[in-house]
Amino acid sequence: MLFPTTDFAIFFCLVFLGHWWLNHNPRVWKPFMIAASYVFYGWWNWRYVFLLAAVSLITQASAIAVDHQRQPKRRTAALALGVAATIAPLLYFKYYGFFTVNVTNAATTFGLHVAPPLIQVVLPVGVSFYTFMAIAYLVDIYRGDFEIASWVDLFLYLSFFPHLVAGPIVRPNELIPQLVVRRDPRHIDVADAMWLILGGLFKKVVIANYLAGAVVDPVFGDPARHSSPEAIVGIVAYAVQIYCDFSGYTDIAIGVAKLLGFRFPQNFDRPYSARSVQEFWRRWHMTLSRWLRDYLYIPLGGNRKGTARIYRNLMITMLLGGLWHGAAWHFVVWGGLHGAYLTVGHWKDGKREAGQLAEPPETALVHWMQRLATFTLVCIAWTLFRADSVATALALLARTVTAWGLPSPLLTRPVLLAISAGLVTQFLPHRPAERLRAALSRLRPVPLGVTVAVVLFLITTLGPRGVAPFIYFQF
């Protein structure tokens, strides 16, 4: 079920009414919300609900096993088994085909005949997101950072529909405690929630969907047919598209959760205004960045045990982060490229601390040059992320310098306006937006409803027909 659809609007209206009607009775409210979340998830394919239930069952059983162990070695072994069992469905659905194809190809290269059975399976929507949340729950219990939850709370934590299919990745301590607190409808900031939902819809429907059809899909689909300006604009347009698409989903998810009385963590903070790749990752998909840091980078050793280990840990973390996004080599290369960016950045920071490299001047011109350099590096990596193969990505990057002088019919005013709109928002000061947000909060119900209806009409009118799935649904 997609957020910007009539189906979801009807679904949410029913859930909203049931949620607040049953809010005073947790014994009824929690099963109701679990059932609603399973309906939401099963809307694509009813079989998916069995996978979600199985992962929830395995996670809670594993958590109980970890919690009952008192000897450190047994506790660690229980955690390892629990994580392996929890992540097994993800490995099968997402990586089995990738593994078998590459094993077969590698064996053929060496003249061997190895042909593991190739089974075509459909990747369930959102499996990566709720698997990562399940692992966070297990590890937090192992570390003693969180107490084991009840079965019903764990099932609701993993299935809660606003975050279910594309995040944000909500930690146990960020959501489960909210499940045991009675929510007060008088404290719901409806205007703030609508600000997020409408802003997310605008970014997704008007900007992301338009850029996808107008320039991104044609350029990435056949780089050889396009000029250098079109190739460059196509790459930049994808950077804007994926930001508007994913941050738009996150805004809608946070807004929907707010209408139900829940708070989700922020997931984006104007990432294209970053002055380094390190800062970019502190602003882009922040819940994933923190997850990779706390549950992968730090357990690998983090910043301990010498510089060489730090570089190794950065590369392993980003390579696995790339593989998490998709079972294909271009995702792995994308992750490796960002790992290289972060490694070079860490090396430069070390040189500056040792006095071997001068600090750049703190001037506006230098700051804008840093932002431009960072955005360029990120766009180069996005090319690998969006292309269907490493070869296609390299062909498109080569096209940016080898096809000048050719016609560029895709460079229309609406395309350039949409790209500009997506980028300008990264640099606008917070104060005007906060004032507009505050003004919306002061509206009475009738004017607020009229305003929402007008904005929805404009979004529907300006956006292209049809609703494309969110990009991160495939991960």
**How many residues are recorded in the chain?**
475
Mean pLDDT by 10 residues, the chain (475 residues): 82 94 93 96 89 96 93 94 94 82 73 66 83 96 94 96 88 94 86 90 92 95 94 97 94 94 94 96 95 93 85 94 90 96 92 86 93 97 95 95 91 95 87 79 80 84 74 70
Q: In this predicted structure, what is the pLDDT of residue 73?
A: 92
Q: How far is 327 from 398, CA to CA, in rounded Å?
A: 25
Q: In this predicted structure, what is the pLDDT of residue 307?
A: 87
Within the chain, how many helices (H) and strands (E) appear? 22, 0
SS3 13: helix
- How far, rounded to the nearest angstrom, does the alpha carbon of residue 7 sit from its chain's CA centroid? 23
Q: How far is 227 from 229, CA to CA, in rounded Å?
A: 6
Q: In this predicted structure, what is the pLDDT of residue 114?
A: 64
CB 374 within 8 A of CB 274: yes
Q: Whole-prediction pTM value?
A: 0.92
Q: In this predicted structure, what is the pLDDT of residue 119?
A: 65
**Catalytically annotated residues:** 325
Q: 241, 270, 245: which is closest to 415 by C-alpha?
A: 241
